[in-house]
Structure 1
Amino acid sequence: MLLENKTAIIYGGGGAIGGAMARGFAAEGARVFLAGRTPATLDAVADDIRARGGLAETARVDALDEDAVNGWVDSVAQTAGGVDVSVNLISQDAVFKPLIEMPVGDFARAMDKVARSFLLTTQAAARHMVKQGSGVILHFGGSDATNRMPGLGTVQVGCEMVEAMRRQWACELGPHSVRVLTMRTGGIPESMPDVPEMDQVKQQMVDATLLKRAVTLTDVGRVAAFLVSDHAASLTSTQINISAGALVD
């Protein structure tokens, strides 16, 4: 198994993408610790993993609370003997509005949530990873330098902020054999609401790919498991494009 004896932390582990990564990690032997603010969704993912013979634990953690994040990560490290993987998948609370019309307060709140959560969660994991001389920080979403779509508001700016932090973290943590990566997909239709009004959007995602199939949640889990494994030991400070050709590098 790729991740046998590894410990993975996932913030937002009860969501569609967080759950996919948790299942992917657990299937490869990792012990996963899922954090979020909604126990019911976390427990549903954990129960599914356990039913398949995997190891999963949950905790209600606010990724914006410094004491809560540090205390939880420290407890995970003590319980499991270390922290090998950390993934932050909490929602951005994005504001979709042209920047020229954006209230300063709305912009500041959205950017503060992104900056605060990614800094806190990465700091908490990195302290343990540096001590043990290994680990992977995995981001999700990425950025697109060719984007020309107006009205995205804080979404694209937030993604660019995360990517800037990823590059800086990779530079600082690399000498300690800690890797920092980002996955980008171009959209996952099955993670979207299953309602008629979304059918056209989902089909557009498929049509935009070169392979004429959109990435699935299973794809996300499997690729994520590979990226945080020792088989990808030479990868750091980069984006991994699994968009089936929707995003052309």
Structure 2
Amino acid sequence: MNNARNNANAVGLTTNDIIKNDSSDPSPAASGLLAGKVAFITGAGRGIGAAAARLFAAEGARVLLAARSEDQLKAVAEEIRASGGVADHAVCDLADPASVRGAVDRAVELYGRLDVAFNNAATGQPPGPLDELSGADFDRLYAVNLKGPWVAMSAEIAAMRATAGRGAIVNTSSVGALMANPQLPAYGALKRALNSLTESAAATYGPEGIRVNAVAPGTTLTELLFEWDERSPGTVDALNARTPLGRAAEPREIAEAAAWLLSDRASYVTGTVLRVDGGMLA
């Protein structure tokens, strides 16, 4: 844990900065990257999801934040509104399909449409070889990291069809899905399955004007990374040593890639798993 925190300090961040994910965003502008769009974001209470919520709102979107922790959601939504943005929240557990569908419905109820969705929420696994992972842990990972995005995409596509008539979806994958991942084997395998689901959805719904892509973050300063480093000290240092840029990403940097993929500036991009990894897999 201390190594991860020290890594954060090495790139000019305090622990509070990381948890708040650069909350000093500018006020939303009518000419922003996502101006006029309604955005739905899962895992929006912290980490990459919270950074995305702040960024999307600053880029002109009306955002609906979804996650399990209502306290975290309220804090991020209030921060966005205080900066002049439009935000609300819905408590959502990706392991509960009804709550996922309800959260998507809430976005349409509040804002009248759905244009873009960022399926970012995920859960981690205890690091270690695959034979040491319990069946219960694997089932939990499957429910949240693969079935959850499948349910979310199904609901989002239905909402886009019924309202905006077109749209864009981005799923959060991982560079750990693009290579052997002996310390997080189930996490990597399910994220790789999510890549396949992303590509299949892109091929299926492209003719309707619905684009589907994924971002594959490398080492990123989130609580999941800190938890991994705490259980396996030295993890962050080892990952940074494999990264040409020599550091971990701030959550905002991953959110920037997602925002571009969701925007009209990426209008001819679909079925892509975009690595945002500091060159780790170059």
TM-score calculated relative to the size of structure 2: 0.78
Percent identity over paired residues = 32
**Do the aligned partners of residues 128 and 190 (structure 1) sit closer, same or farther apart at CA in structure 2, a change above 3 Å counting?**
closer
Task: Return the alpha-carbon distance in structure 2 between the equivalents of residues 67 and 4 of structure 1.
Answer: 30
Separation (CA, whole Å) in 2 of partners of 1:207 and 1:50: 39
5 Å matches for 1:146-165?
A: 147-165=179-197
Could you tell me whether the CA contact under 8 Å between 1:12 and 1:88 is conserved in 2? yes
Distance in 2 of aligned mates of 1:77 and 1:18 = 19
Q: Kindly tell me: are residues 115 and 244 of structure 1, through their superposed partners in 2, closer, same or farther at Cα, counting changes over 3 Å?
A: closer
Range 197-206 or range 147-156, more displaced:
197-206
Unmatched 5+ stretches in structure 2: 1-31
Of 201-210 and 5-14, the range deviating more from structure 2: 201-210
Question: Where does residue 278 of structure 2 map in the other structure?
Answer: 244
Q: Deviations over 1:188-235 (max 9, x none)?
A: 1365449x9688433434332223343222212222221110001111
Counterpart for residue 21 of structure 2:
none
Alpha-carbon separation, structure 2, partners of 1:91 and 1:205 = 20
**Pairwise CA distance, 1:25:** 0.6
| Structure 2: distance between partners of 1:53 and 1:146 | 39
SS at 1:76's partner residue? Answer: helix
Distance 2:91 2:120 in 1: 14
Partner of 2:93: 62
The CA distance in 2 between the partners of 1:207 and 1:46, in whole Å, is 36
- Hey, what's the Cα distance between the residues in 1 that align with 2:99 and 2:184? 31
Matches within 5 A, 1:26-65: 26-65=57-96
Instruction: Give distance in 2, aligned partners of 1:209 and 1:171.
Output: 32
The residue correspondences of 1:15-34 to structure 2 (distance < 5 A) are 15-34=46-65
Q: Tell me the alpha carbon deviations over residues 134-189 of structure 1, each in whole angstroms, 9 at most, x when there is no partner.
A: 11111112355762342423111111121121111111111111111111221113
Q: 1:149 to 1:165 in 2, by over 3 A?
A: closer
Match of 1:120 in 2: 151
Distance 1:99 1:180, change over 3 A: same
For residues 123 and 203 of structure 2, the distance between their equivalents in structure 1, rounded to whole angstroms, comes to: 25
TM-superposed deviation, 1:95: 4.5
**Amino acid in the other structure paired with 1:223:** A
User: How far off its partner does 1:36 sit?
Assistant: 1.4
- Conserved 8 A contact 1:183-1:241: yes
Distance 1:104 1:72, change over 3 A: closer
Partner of 1:142: 174
Q: How far, CA to CA, are the matches of 1:106 and 1:222 in structure 2?
A: 31
Instruction: For residues 29-70 of structure 1, give each alpha carbon's deviation from its aligned partner in whole angstroms, at most 9, with x where no partner exists.
Output: 011111112111111211221222211111212233333322
**Change over 3 Å in CA distance of 1:145–1:51 after alignment to 2:** closer
Q: Is the aligned partner of 1:188 residue 2:220?
A: yes
Answer yes or no: is the 8 Å Cα contact 2:42–2:67 preserved in 1. yes
Aligned to 1:94: 125
**Residues 199 and 102 of structure 1: CA distance in aligned 2, closer, same or farther (over 3 Å):** closer
Matched residue SS, 1:4 = coil
Tell me how far apart the structure 1 counterparts of residues 250 and 218 of structure 2 sit (CA, whole Å): 11
Residue 80 (structure 1) aligns with: 111
Per the alignment, in what secondary structure is the counterpart of residue 83 of structure 1? Answer: coil
Name the CA shift for 1:43/1:169 in 2 (closer, same or farther; >3 Å).
same
- Give the secondary structure class of the aligned counterpart of 1:8: strand
Cα deviations across residues 99-134 of structure 1 (Å, max 9, x unaligned)? 344444543343233332112111111002234331
Query: Where does the alignment leave 5 or more consecutive residues of structure 1 unmatched?
Result: none
Give distance in 1, aligned partners of 2:114 and 2:184. Answer: 35
What is the alpha-carbon root mean square deviation over aligned residues?
Answer: 2.6
> SS of 1:237's equivalent?
coil
Give the equivalent residue in structure 2 for 1:176. Answer: 208
Measured after TM superposition, the shift of residue 92 of structure 1 is 2.5
SS of alignment partner, residue 29 of structure 1: coil
